[in-house]
Structure 1
Amino acid sequence: MIEIIATFARWSQLTANLILFGSCVFLVIVGQQKAVFEASWTIRLEKGFPWLASVILLGLVGILATTTGEATGEVSNVWNPHAWFEIVQQTQIGYIWIARALLAVLLLSVTLVIGRVDRQRWHYGLCASAAALPLIAGTLMSHSSADEMSFGAVAPYALHILLAGIWFGALPAFLFILLNDHSKSDKTSNPTTVAVYLTKFSAIALPVMVLLAATGLMVTDRLVETYYHTLVASPYGWLLSAKLSILAIILVIAYQARYQWLPMLSKEDPQQSNVSAAHLRKWVGIEFILALLLVLLATILANTLPAKHTMIDNWPYPFRFSLNATWDEPNVQEMVWSGVALFFIALGTVWLGIRSNWNSTKKTLIPSLLGISAMAIALPPLAIEAYPETYLKPTVPFDVISISNGSQLFAAHCASCHGPQGKGAGVITDPEIKDPTDLLTEPHTTKYTVGNIFHQLSHGIPGTTMPGFSATLSEENRWDLINYLHALSRGFDARLLGSMIVPENPAIASPVFNYSAHNGSSGNLKDFRLQKNVLMVLFSWPQSKERFFQLAAAYDRIQALNTEILAIPIRALNEQELEQIAEIVPFPIITEGWSEIKDSYWLYRRVRTVPDLSGKGMFPGHMEFITDRFGYLRARWVAQFEGYGWQNVSAMTLQLTQLNQENEIMPPPGEHAH
């Protein structure tokens, strides 16, 4: 029930605000002659302005009441003004609500004032400006601003709302004009003058709708990002599709009004003029009703979980489209480009039909058949098999605890077939059964989502010896295995890392971890993001003793380069050893969490010269990694295989200096594998 009240409150205040804003903009556009403001339809329209402003205020009260009930989890607080005031005084949502309420009061004051003075064009411009402010303030509570309260995040949505107001808010004014008594003795109401008003506004409606579509795409892209599959399998996507379908109908009506009925309205033939006016009254009325429904859907959509945050637990289709997975397959590019070419031909027939005055059946049927044929040619080659779990998101974060647990599970359940490094070393004697997959060196990320791999781990792979583990491994353990495989693949890519960073090329995310150190400090690797680079030193004792003396001597210099050092042992240290190291180094020595960190970062040990490190003797005794302040591995020195390397401290500090000069190239990596 609260959701219904909340939706009605949001819809009513937004609808009233859009109408008030758009009507004032309409009056500014058509009001070049003062006589317009004396017309009966203008007076009737203006009388509704204070009422619309009052609806905005009442809607805001409803929003505050229902938000309080939802935020506190107590239905009774919907009717508790004391609880409202607590929300207003203690939350960011409350502060924004105060701003919206004050702006709505200002708007109400403006509408009352202009109703008591001689009407001037600039009065309506002032009213439009006042009506725009609550709309803009409302965007601060949108999903766009929730992710990032910045001008770049909020501005497209604010512009989208204002453009929607210019179009939607003008429809009531259209109706007031069309329903008015078109007496020829009234210059402002005769059909010719009315046609001038409507044509004048209709001329700017096209660029408004183009900009409305462009800003809508920008907002949608921000809320969808790369998760386009959610548009056909989530409430957000279904609502968006319904909204776009209604918009398409509205655009068809607007096109007919602009190019067919409006020109007839100004004809000298009274019969044609009356027929045109009747059509306009009917269809603009329908357009307004559809617009009200469109605003309702937009209101619900604005308060629905965005597509990029939606969890698709059960993908309903047996296929999905993937350009990356299919593009290099035989004949795919030719088929796709042929379909694209045919689609543009279909668009061309739309233009040709308009220019050649085809009848409506021909004008609709030919482009539709060509468009359907284009999709039938271009889309099937891009389709690949999918499972119910294909777009399932991991429930276990990609961190060293999960990776370390996954490595143990891999050794127990998978290494016998795939080999200790995942290279598919098992021998299959049956020629009809596929050999175990090489999980290390072969790319799998384009054809297989993490959800696909989860499905295969759970249910097995037909035609192979790969069994399903749903009965023997918990869901969490299966995600741990996937995280390990992900780290294994990243580790193979890490052979391209060296002691010199590749400028502006962050590619490999650093697995995150929690730690506690000998000096009482603790935290998470993510704590350093956007603040400091991290030099991680995986060491043996006492073999790394000389290197520690060197790092201790350069510690102040390294810290001055916005970098922290974390020392990570590769075996357990006793108290005596820990005391010996602590006497040398001023930086943290990790005492809790080191085992999982070591297990995970050893996967990143491969180097160009020794790309296939295997066996106990090939695990380096000393490695160092530089993670930049955005969470990416940028350089690595393996003392056993890469020579003098960072023993030249100047060479290392040069890398840190270069990292500090880089701005954010990619956002920090997410918490889960993808």
Structure 2
Amino acid sequence: MSQTFLRFFEALPTALAVGLLLLPLLSEENGARFKPAIALCGVLRAVLGFGLIVLIARAIIPADVPLSFDGLVTFSTSTSVGRAWVATEIVALLFALATLLRLRVDSGVFDKATLGLGGLVLALTSVTGHAIDDSFRWWQQASFLLHTAAGLTWLGGLIGLVWWMFTGRGKSPEVAAKLSERWSNVAKVAIVIVVISGIVMAWENVGSFANLLATPYGRLLTIKLALFCASMLAALALALYLNRRPADKFDFDWYGRVGLAEAVAAAGLVFIAGWIAVITPASHETDLYWPLPFRLSWSATWGYVGAKLPWIDVANWYLAPAWSAVVAVVCAALAAFFWWAPRLRPWRRFSTPGALLLSALFVGSSFATVAYTDTYNDPAVDYTAMSVVRGQKHFNANCVACHGVSGEGNGELASGLKDLKGLPVTPADLTAPHVGNHTIGDIFHWLSYGGTSGVMPGFKETLDPDDRWDVINFLLMMSYSNRARFIGAQPMVQWLIAPDFQLVDPEDKITTFYGLRGTPTLLSFARCNAPEVDEHALEASLAIADETAKAAGANHVTVYQGGCPASLMARAPTNPQAVERAYSIINRYPNEKPSDEIAEAHYLIDRSGYLRARYRHFEDGAGQAAQLSAAIAQLAREPFIIVSLHSH
């Protein structure tokens, strides 16, 4: 928090100095009366900058290592944040020197040069925060500079304008109006820059709408947005006054008070900005806490329940989101009626907005589904074949009695399950696509604390968090198994993420399956010692897979067991048994009994890591090699998308 306060009090003087430098250019009057204040602000900024590097170093250097002058010098010259501070402080010192020289020098050109230096100091305010993250592209880093420069210029100019209004009551109304209108134009440009750059920054640092409420960074950003809206309401009031004021009058006191309210909201906004500059961005946060008992979701409401339930269902009619939509339409129609009905016009300013608000609430409720504190929690265990196998082991030990070995809800105890009211409860079919309608955090919550019906127990005391995440990774694979029966040779849409696994690489360059992304990959499975296997046909099939993958420029990973020819092997996993067991979950075919072993299968993975096609066996002269080659060429032309391994 000390860094937050210092960043705020470091930025505020420079913003005020820039605002006071800008005012004489807008009002076309002598700004000599502002020179001492500008110089004081410039010097104060330079002095506070030295305190900032101490706090930054203390936050990064281990607490058991004492700070010394030599240590600060080393930190400032050998770290990226230290070098950024040095550059910023040099500019701040030059700005302070310029503001002091202005006390003796009276030059319009020098004033503009000082204003430019001040603007540069404002822009560089962000470089000791998230802006120096080298994972950002240049335009993302530039958005930080533009955001701080425009935002602090707006704040400083606004404070200067309020100062002018409270001390300029003797000025003519026309001078005040001219200054206000010119400042309004400058502020509009600054706000446009703030909004556009803010969207760019939020896109990278927040990541999703849920993170606005589920993370400390997001909640602070939400408060920042609320303060921004408050300041914009005050700005709107000022703009309306300028458009409607009498030609020969100007209310200095009212304009100054409303401007002060806008400035206070803007100052709070800047304080929050300094706070979020020193905490973990929402997109990098791993411990997410959702504060609401509901969330909005298309897939879990209209996309699932709305498609399954009819408009009138005796038992569950209230679940159909269509009913909320009907009420929303009725409320919208009432709003129109209240507005146009002659007898109701005296009340339409209140009744119409009220009906529209009610309509919006019902529209939102049609997308609402139950949420928990864990709903948006990020997995603590990577989505890998090893994790899936571990999860399957825990599932077999704790869940098959109800959900069944295959997860279809047909376990030995399934028929006798009842809730607290004595009503029969059917275990969920975990192979159905509906599992993907729930967030990973929802599933983690149910595994930890039990199901909503009260029948499924919680496993918080039985399985540690990593074990529960392993079970979730297995459940995700199992939820794919139903649709996976129909994967064929023609590339399908992107929906199935291929689990990661470790690769054998003597050169230690590409050690994971994930590391092969960027180029299509053929993942081949075979058991050359399987019962009733035709060894010659199998070897011919593996040879076609090997030759076609090489000719098409695709990566090739082989999970071969049982004495397959070494000449046909390519990259191999470090644990082939685990990889086979994990991928066997989705190696399903219609009307065939599932197996933990894969006699032969060839999966085509696209550049982004999605499993797109499957080939069961290759035969000479059947055209399958040409089909595989064409599919590889098609996937190679598709754009590369960086996705989370837990996308589903």
Map of 1:373 onto structure 2: 358
- What is the distance in 2 between the residues matched to 1:408 and 1:344? 56
User: What displacement does 1:662 show?
Assistant: 2.6
User: What displacement does 1:210 show?
Assistant: 5.0
The partner residue of 2:59 within 55, 70, 77 is 70
The answer to whether the 8 Å contact 2:605/2:613 transfers is: yes
The answer to whether the 8 Å contact 2:19/2:159 transfers is: no
Map of 1:419 onto structure 2: 404
Map of 2:540 onto structure 1: 546
- What is the distance in 1 between the residues matched to 2:300 and 2:569? 50
Structure 1, residues 609-630: CA drift from partner, whole Å, max 9, x if none? Answer: x3354244x9541222233333
The partner residue of 1:594 within 576, 582, 588 is 576
For residues 297-316 of structure 1, the aligned pairs below 5 Å read 297-311=272-286, 315-316=290-291
The partner residue of 1:202 within 174, 178, 184 is 184
Q: Does 1:390 align with 2:364?
A: no
Secondary structure in 1 matching 2:559: strand
Q: Does 1:231 align with 2:204?
A: no
The answer to whether the 8 Å contact 2:122/2:148 transfers is: yes
Map of 1:59 onto structure 2: 48
The answer to whether the 8 Å contact 1:13/1:59 transfers is: yes
- What is the distance in 2 between the residues matched to 1:299 and 1:315? 24
Give the letter aligned to residue 16 of structure 2.
I
Secondary structure in 2 matching 1:523: coil
Give the letter aligned to residue 614 of structure 1.
K
Give the letter aligned to residue 524 of structure 2.
V
**TM-score where L is the length of structure 2:** 0.82
Secondary structure in 1 matching 2:393: helix
The partner residue of 2:82 within 68, 91, 94 is 94
For residues 6-155 of structure 1, the aligned pairs below 5 Å read 6-31=3-28, 36=29, 38=30, 42-74=31-63, 77=66, 79-112=67-100, 116-120=104-108, 123-143=110-130, 146=133, 148-155=135-142
Map of 1:353 onto structure 2: none
Secondary structure in 1 matching 2:431: coil
Q: Does 1:161 align with 2:151?
A: no
Give the letter aligned to residue 559 of structure 2.
I
Q: Does 1:627 align with 2:616?
A: no
The answer to whether the 8 Å contact 1:398/1:673 transfers is: no
Map of 1:611 onto structure 2: 590
User: What displacement does 1:605 show?
Assistant: 1.6
Give the letter aligned to residue 462 of structure 2.
T
The partner residue of 1:433 within 412, 421, 424 is 424
- What is the distance in 2 between the residues matched to 1:348 and 1:177? 49
User: What displacement does 1:453 show?
Assistant: 1.7
Distance 1:414 1:365, change over 3 A: same
- What is the distance in 1 between the residues matched to 2:338 and 2:142? 37
Give the number of equivalent residue pairs: 616
The partner residue of 1:222 within 198, 204, 207 is 204
For residues 653-668 of structure 1, the aligned pairs below 5 Å read 653-664=629-640, 666-668=641-643
- What is the distance in 2 between the residues matched to 1:422 and 1:316? 32
Q: Does 1:535 align with 2:519?
A: no
Secondary structure in 1 matching 2:447: helix
User: What displacement does 1:512 show?
Assistant: 0.7
- What is the distance in 2 between the residues matched to 1:472 and 1:289? 53
**Structure 2 runs not aligned, ≥5 long:** 312-319, 340-344, 530-534
Distance 1:291 1:337, change over 3 A: farther
Structure 1, residues 556-615: CA drift from partner, whole Å, max 9, x if none? Answer: 645xx2x3322213x4x5xxx4xx733x2473344x311111111122323xxx335424
Bigger mean CA offset, 253-262 vs 453-462: 253-262
Structure 1, residues 487-540: CA drift from partner, whole Å, max 9, x if none? Answer: 1123433445433435xx43322111113368988711222234x443222122
Q: Does 1:267 align with 2:248?
A: yes
Give the letter aligned to residue 288 of structure 1.
A
User: What displacement does 1:473 show?
Assistant: 2.9
Map of 1:246 onto structure 2: 227
Map of 1:486 onto structure 2: 476
- What is the distance in 2 between the residues matched to 1:520 and 1:659? 27
- What is the distance in 1 between the residues matched to 2:457 and 2:169? 79
- What is the distance in 1 between the residues matched to 2:83 and 2:480? 45
For residues 312-327 of structure 1, the aligned pairs below 5 Å read 315-327=290-302
- What is the distance in 1 between the residues matched to 2:477 and 2:594? 19
Give the letter aligned to residue 484 of structure 1.
F
- What is the distance in 1 between the residues matched to 2:378 and 2:478? 19
Distance 1:649 1:322, change over 3 A: closer
User: What displacement does 1:301 show?
Assistant: 2.4
- What is the distance in 2 between the residues matched to 1:519 and 1:157? 40
Q: Does 1:638 align with 2:616?
A: yes
- What is the distance in 2 between the residues matched to 1:456 and 1:192? 68
Secondary structure in 2 matching 1:172: helix
The answer to whether the 8 Å contact 1:407/1:484 transfers is: yes
Give the letter aligned to residue 227 of structure 2.
I
Distance 1:20 1:455, change over 3 A: same
- What is the distance in 2 between the residues matched to 1:343 and 1:112? 62
The answer to whether the 8 Å contact 2:126/2:145 transfers is: yes
Secondary structure in 1 matching 2:585: helix
Distance 1:585 1:99, change over 3 A: farther
- What is the distance in 2 between the residues matched to 1:66 and 1:125? 33
Give the letter aligned to residue 276 of structure 2.
L
For residues 435-584 of structure 1, the aligned pairs below 5 Å read 435-446=426-437, 448-461=438-451, 463=453, 466-502=456-492, 505-516=493-504, 523-530=511-518, 532-541=519-528, 543=535, 544-550=538-544, 557=551, 561=553, 563-569=554-560, 571=561, 577=563, 581-582=565-566, 584=567
Secondary structure in 2 matching 1:324: coil
- What is the distance in 2 between the residues matched to 1:217 and 1:645? 55
The answer to whether the 8 Å contact 2:207/2:283 transfers is: yes
The answer to whether the 8 Å contact 2:42/2:95 transfers is: yes
Structure 1, residues 198-236: CA drift from partner, whole Å, max 9, x if none? Answer: 22222443454355345434433433332x334345433
- What is the distance in 2 between the residues matched to 1:157 and 1:343? 41
Map of 2:342 onto structure 1: none
Distance 1:455 1:165, change over 3 A: closer
Structure 1, residues 241-285: CA drift from partner, whole Å, max 9, x if none? Answer: 4333333433333333333379658635xxxx5xx2222334434
- What is the distance in 2 between the residues matched to 1:287 and 1:363? 30
Distance 1:141 1:595, change over 3 A: farther
The answer to whether the 8 Å contact 2:522/2:549 transfers is: no
Secondary structure in 1 matching 2:210: helix
Secondary structure in 2 matching 1:252: helix
- What is the distance in 2 between the residues matched to 1:635 and 1:491? 14
For residues 398-409 of structure 1, the aligned pairs below 5 Å read 398-409=383-394
**TM-score where L is the length of structure 1:** 0.79
The answer to whether the 8 Å contact 1:506/1:632 transfers is: yes
Secondary structure in 2 matching 1:48: helix
The answer to whether the 8 Å contact 1:30/1:201 transfers is: no
- What is the distance in 1 between the residues matched to 2:476 and 2:399? 15
User: What displacement does 1:403 show?
Assistant: 0.1
- What is the distance in 1 between the residues matched to 2:335 and 2:191? 22
Map of 2:316 onto structure 1: none
- What is the distance in 2 between the residues matched to 1:117 and 1:348? 68
